[in-house]
Amino acid sequence: MEPDLATLPRLDRDLTEPEPIPEAAIARACALMRSGRLFRYGEMGADQNDVALLEQEFAAFLGRRYCVAVNSGGAALCLALKVLDLQPGEPVLVNGFTLAPVPGAILHAGGRPVLVEIGPDYVIDCADLRAKARASGARILLLSHMRGHIADMDAVMAACDELGLLLVEDCAHALCAAWGGRTIGSFGAAAAFSAQTYKHLNAGEGGFLVLDDADRAARAILHSGSYMLHAQHLSAPAAEVVARWEETTPNFSMRMTALAAALLRPQLADLPRRAARWNAIHDRIGRGLARSQHVRLPERPERERYSATSVQFSLAGFDEAEIQAFLGRCAGRGLPIKWFGASRQRGFTSAPRHWRYAGAQSPLPRTHAVLSGLCDIRTPLSLTDEECDLVAAIVCEAAETIAAARAAAGETGRARRGSRPGQR
């Protein structure tokens, strides 16, 4: 008999609750609002330099030469593709486990997504990457470090070198992550980061493009919409480099506001603490989930240093009806769980079969098999250890209850078949 949900402990927390904005950021934002100077540029001079300073600081944090701050992570991805000379209709490879803004950025830049299979641990399948690259003739790989799961970057870079692929890293969920001691976001020709509320940095919305090539950086600054005021950038190539692109590069108006930068600068200094706490939350919940034989956690290679802002796991051997029952049971105890296997996209969760705008794709049987059982839990930094333990306990109890109900139904069915008249 299933335990009554009303008798079980309930999680009374809003898992979408972010940390408060630091007081220093609030003070600077208030000063900017009182001045009214929220635009990043000043015609009378760079008197509002919050964005320029943030770009300089973010580039230094990542170990890249240049940073261009923009209005979203998707805009940063689009700019990355534009400065790599993406042509209309050109194929761009992208792993099948990502969020809709990633194939959306490819289409925004004029390209055509070519979806690549993932493996059981949620990261790109390098064998399928090679096959899709050769079949499509693509020259760019947009690698999404989805939910902070880092692919074997040694294998990815070997494939890129072998195939002549330019790598763009989508690092929206991977700030502070590394592979083999090398910072994620430093492997590709360009990398994009996000400052949307549920990422490591929170301005509500915002993004960063980081890169090392001077000409590409110049074009990104011009594309972002610098209005010939690019001398006000502190993270920028020499003026003569910008000048040679000035009259041939369109303005796409993707700038970050001074207000967003004011909110972000104090958070950047606090990133190591935030990343460490997020990983502690992830690991504590993971240890609890590992107690259930019906829950599978992805394997984390030794060379990966992840930076988690959420927890993912797969339900082993559950069909759609059982997963729906599992989700309902967790929700009944106050734990909302996102599921990538749903027939319809919902909220922030979708799968390649939902992206009809991406055009015709070859089947992705392995990707959809993985996503069919893949669940996702948001983990705010304010979660206590006791709440982490309760999250894990709710998941394990729901999984065990659904599995027990299935086993009981199987025993009942066998008993009925065994009691038929004339059966020996």
Per-residue pLDDT of 154-198, as tens digits, reads: 999 999 999 999 999 999 999 999 999 999 999 999 999 999 999
* Predicted confidence (pLDDT) at residue 415 exceeds the cutoff of 60: no
Which pLDDT value is given to residue 347?
Answer: 83
Residues 246 and 156 grouped into a single domain: yes
**320 inside domain:** yes
Helices (H), 22-137: 23-35, 50-62, 73-83, 101-108, 126-136
Residue 138 one-letter amino acid = A
Which pLDDT value is given to residue 339?
Answer: 96
Question: Which residues form the domain of 348?
Answer: 271-418
Which pLDDT value is given to residue 80?
Answer: 98
Residues 44 and 122 grouped into a single domain: yes
Q: What is the mean pLDDT of the chain?
A: 94
Place 403 in a pLDDT band, splitting at 50, 70 and 90. Answer: very high
**Exposure of 346 in the CB half-sphere (CA atoms within 13 A):** 11
Which pLDDT value is given to residue 45?
Answer: 66
Which pLDDT value is given to residue 390?
Answer: 98
Which pLDDT value is given to residue 424?
Answer: 36
Which pLDDT value is given to residue 423?
Answer: 47
Residues 263 and 275 grouped into a single domain: no
Are 220 and 83 in contact by the 8 Å Cβ rule? The answer is yes
Residues 230-266 have pLDDT tens digits of 999 999 999 999 999 999 999 999 999 999 999 999 9
Average pLDDT over residues 404-412: 78
Which pLDDT value is given to residue 316?
Answer: 87
Which pLDDT value is given to residue 358?
Answer: 93
Give one DSSP letter per residue of 256-271, joined into a string. PPHHHHHHHHHHHHTH
**49 inside domain:** yes
Domains contained in the chain, number? 2
Alpha-carbon gap, residue 18 to 29, rounded angstroms: 18
Alpha-carbon gap, residue 124 to 149, rounded angstroms: 10
**3 inside domain:** no
How many residues make up the chain in this entry? 424
φ/ψ bin of 137: left (φ > 0), alpha (ψ from -120 to 50), beta (otherwise): left
Alpha-carbon gap, residue 306 to 178, rounded angstroms: 7
Residues 389 and 411 grouped into a single domain: yes
Strand partners, 94: 115, 142
Place 420 in a pLDDT band, splitting at 50, 70 and 90. Answer: low
* Predicted confidence (pLDDT) at residue 98 exceeds the cutoff of 90: yes
Beta strands in 301-418 (DSSP E): 304-305, 310-315, 338-339, 374-378
**Any idea of the CA torsion for 237, 65, 207, 191, to the nearest 10 degrees?**
120
* Predicted confidence (pLDDT) at residue 1 exceeds the cutoff of 60: no
Residues 258 and 360 grouped into a single domain: no
* Predicted confidence (pLDDT) at residue 421 exceeds the cutoff of 70: no
Neighbours of 170 (CB within 10 A): 29
CA-based angle 297:169:109, to the nearest 5? 125
What is the distance of C-alpha 84 from the center of its chain?
Answer: 22
Which pLDDT value is given to residue 319?
Answer: 95
pTM over 0.85: yes
* Predicted confidence (pLDDT) at residue 410 exceeds the cutoff of 80: no
Give one DSSP letter per residue of 185-247, joined into a string. TSSSSEEEEE-STTSSS-SSS-EEEEE--HHHHHHHHHHH--TT-GGG-SS---HHHHHTTTT
Average pLDDT over residues 379-405: 96
Residues 241 and 287 grouped into a single domain: no
Q: Which of 179-193, 283-297, 369-383, 401-415 has the lowest mean pLDDT?
A: 401-415
Are 254 and 79 in contact by the 8 Å Cβ rule? The answer is yes
* Predicted confidence (pLDDT) at residue 207 exceeds the cutoff of 60: yes
Residues 251 and 129 grouped into a single domain: yes
Residues 39 and 157 grouped into a single domain: yes
Give me the CATH number covering residue 315.
3.90.1150.10
Q: Tokens in use for 257?
A: 């506001």
Residues 261 and 293 grouped into a single domain: no
Place 47 in a pLDDT band, splitting at 50, 70 and 90. Answer: low
Alpha-carbon gap, residue 139 to 148, rounded angstroms: 24
Q: Which of 36-50, 133-147, 364-378 has the lowest mean pLDDT?
A: 36-50
Burial of 385-395, coded b for 16+ CB within 10 Å and e otherwise, reads eebbebbbbbb
Residues 30 and 93 grouped into a single domain: yes
Residues 278 and 260 grouped into a single domain: no
Residues 102-140 have pLDDT tens digits of 999 999 999 999 999 999 999 999 999 999 999 999 999
Q: Tokens in use for 338?
A: 């996102």
Q: Tokens in use for 154?
A: 């040694």
Which pLDDT value is given to residue 348?
Answer: 84
